[in-house]
Amino acid sequence: MFDILMYLFENFIHSETEIRVDQDELTEELVRAGFHHDEIYKALAWLEKLAALQETDIKPYFCKGISTSLSRIYTHEEQMRLDVECRGFLMFLEQVNVLDASTREMVIDRVMEIDSNEFCLEDLKWVVLMVLFNVPGKEKAYAQMEDLLFEEPDGVLH
């Protein structure tokens, strides 16, 4: 499923190509690209849920009243999916104002819905990018995240 999300993001969404509204045509194109129907439907459902998380102008229900100075306590399931490196990266993104409590929760929600046994920091970075791309008003945060994802370190690190 994650491969399909990456394919859609790289070929349609990120490139600003207009994604087809007709789900059947999109499904057929993904089948021609070598993806299986069941995984395609899971990926499309994942994207629909992402869109539903930010449909309103108010903060999502899970962020009302959350203080930004509090630390996030991860559930056991979240800790199993997001290792220490991933959780540290999410904290870093909040500290540099790429994510706020609302977008962090959207990212965690979408990560937990990915149907994959393996999930790494690179996967998390792509999920963050997809979430920020879909949240109105987060263009600056998206650009910062894009820089973090694609930026190659210059010179030798000491």
Residue 52 confidence (pLDDT): 84
Give the pTM: 0.81
List, for the chain, all residue ranges whose pLDDT scores fall below the cut of 50: 20, 61, 155-158
Residue 158 confidence (pLDDT): 47
Residue 152 confidence (pLDDT): 58
Residue 61 confidence (pLDDT): 43
Question: What are the structure tokens assigned to 70, written together?
Answer: 């509090």
Residue 20 confidence (pLDDT): 47
Question: What are the structure tokens assigned to 89, written together?
Answer: 């990266």
Residue 38 confidence (pLDDT): 92
Of 95, 141, 93, 96, whose CA–CA distance to 121 is shortest? 93
Q: Is 111 left (phi over 0), alpha (psi -120 to 50) or beta?
A: alpha
Whether the CB-CB separation of 148 and 34 falls below 8 Å is answered with no
Residue 106 confidence (pLDDT): 93
Of 137, 129, 100, 140, whose CA–CA distance to 10 is shortest? 129
